[in-house]
Structure 1
């Protein structure tokens, strides 16, 4: 074996090692870089959601086709964003995910600390608002026009609980089973499915919900509907974490310590 062979083996191992994804914030990345990744990623996500919605309504009056176009663009866009920015910030793009990770970190798991939480969440919200404004600008819509889409019905709120709980269960279930390398495909696929099986079309994200209030287009939500949506999304996050704790319960060793 030559001296270069171990180095080559190490390089191959590094290339094939699982990369960080949601709920696995990479260590040692400067916080300003992570904040920028969260802002840009959330802005891009909202621009995709809002922009594809505007494009769809301009191309067809069929609501089913509009939703199909909107959900398809979101699936592809979200998967790409997670793959691109996951190694930088964990690609949360979602205060519910960040809060859930912070909670698990407080209980001894890996995740963001309080300082990082205080940086991530404003970055996500600012990015979501910027993304909605950018999408409106690209399609010649008023840059800021409050949405008139009322989404206050109880069945829609239930849909948000289900959508957010499922998202948290998926992300942290993958983390518990060391399969976060599948997050770009798994998370994007889940959101695409949840567009169709939940009554609310799966916002499942407080930052995105706030951003979508700034556009009176297909993907918008009336500002009056935002507080309830955000509230039930946080409830869904709690439900999702509870499901993770039950379904992916860690066993104990003979000495009573949690298994690795």
Structure 2
């Protein structure tokens, strides 16, 4: 394994861990601070998640800042990274996300792992995840492939904050985050039985967005989330 890949894996693991810590931790805090107002809890959870995303992408984008297996798969489909690196990065994201949940649980004196009992199933929620992930991928690669990599942190943070509210599923939009959130029986949790459908819908949303990105930006070089530009399929 090269030093460059090791650095990228570390950035993805740490970044995804802190992202999930922000999601789960702010959810726990929101319930404790605003126990009688679910709307306020969601507002607090969404604002903290969006702010954390902006900070993490700004800090880690020079190395790697996908934090999301769907985004990484789209990078691979656009020829920005190799299949081997894609697999390694997704593993790092899933491990990092799970560690982030454990950290959030422990910070709030809960069991390190406590499987969620929060049912999130149904056609409306599944459609919400397709929409949420479609929009996220469009925002990410629309920014990158139009040559504005410096705005990705703000577009992603702003989009996720908004999508918490306009999607029925509260916009998980991330398989690594979805898997991680099943380990906390708190506000942000999702029961294990609900995870496969959510992840499947996220992949569908990402695939549909990939088609649109290719249509809108057909001649644009592949751009990674570290801001570098590579010719199409050059890293296959």
Runs (5+) with no aligned partner, structure 1:
1-27, 106-110, 252-257
* Aligned counterparts of 1:66 and 1:114: Cα–Cα separation in 2: 40
2:59 is equivalent to residue 84 of structure 1:
yes
2:195 pairs with one of 211, 222, 226 = 226
The Cα shift of 1:152 comes to 1.1
Judge conservation of contact 2:144–2:152 (CA < 8 Å) in 1.
no
Match of 1:102 in 2: 76
Which residue among 43, 48, 64 is the counterpart of 1:68? 43
Q: 1:100-249, aligned counterparts within 5 Å?
A: 100-105=74-79, 111-249=80-218
Number of residue-to-residue matches in the alignment:
219
Q: Helix, strand or coil: the match of 1:221?
A: coil
TM-score (norm 2): 0.90
Contact 1:209 1:229 survives alignment (8 Å)? yes
- For each residue in 1:153-212, what CA deviation from the matched residue of structure 2 results, as whole angstroms up to 9, or x when unmatched? 110000000000011111111122101110011110000010000000000000000000
Is 1:38 aligned to 2:12, yes or no? yes
Structure number with the bigger relative contact order (C-alpha 8 A, sep ≥ 6) is 2
SS at match of 2:78: helix
Residue in structure 2 matching 1:93, options 67, 72, 89: 67
Preserved contact between residue 29 and residue 88 of structure 1 (Cα < 8 Å)? no
Computed over aligned residues only, the root mean square deviation of the Cα atoms, in angstroms, reads 1.4
Matched, 1:49 2:23: yes
Q: Which digits, 9 at most, give the CA deviation of each residue in 1:66-90, with x for residues without a partner?
A: 000000101111100000000011x
C-alpha distance in 2, partners of 1:112/1:219? 32
- Look up the SS of the partner of 2:62 in the other structure: helix
Judge conservation of contact 1:75–1:188 (CA < 8 Å) in 2: yes
**Whole-Å Cα distance in 2 between the matches of residues 235 and 99 of structure 1?**
12
The residue matched to 1:87 in structure 2 has which SS?
A: coil
From the CA coordinates, give the structure whose radius of gyration is larger. 1
Aligned residues of 2:163 and 2:171 also touching (Cα < 8 A): yes
Unaligned runs of at least 5 residues, structure 2: 221-231
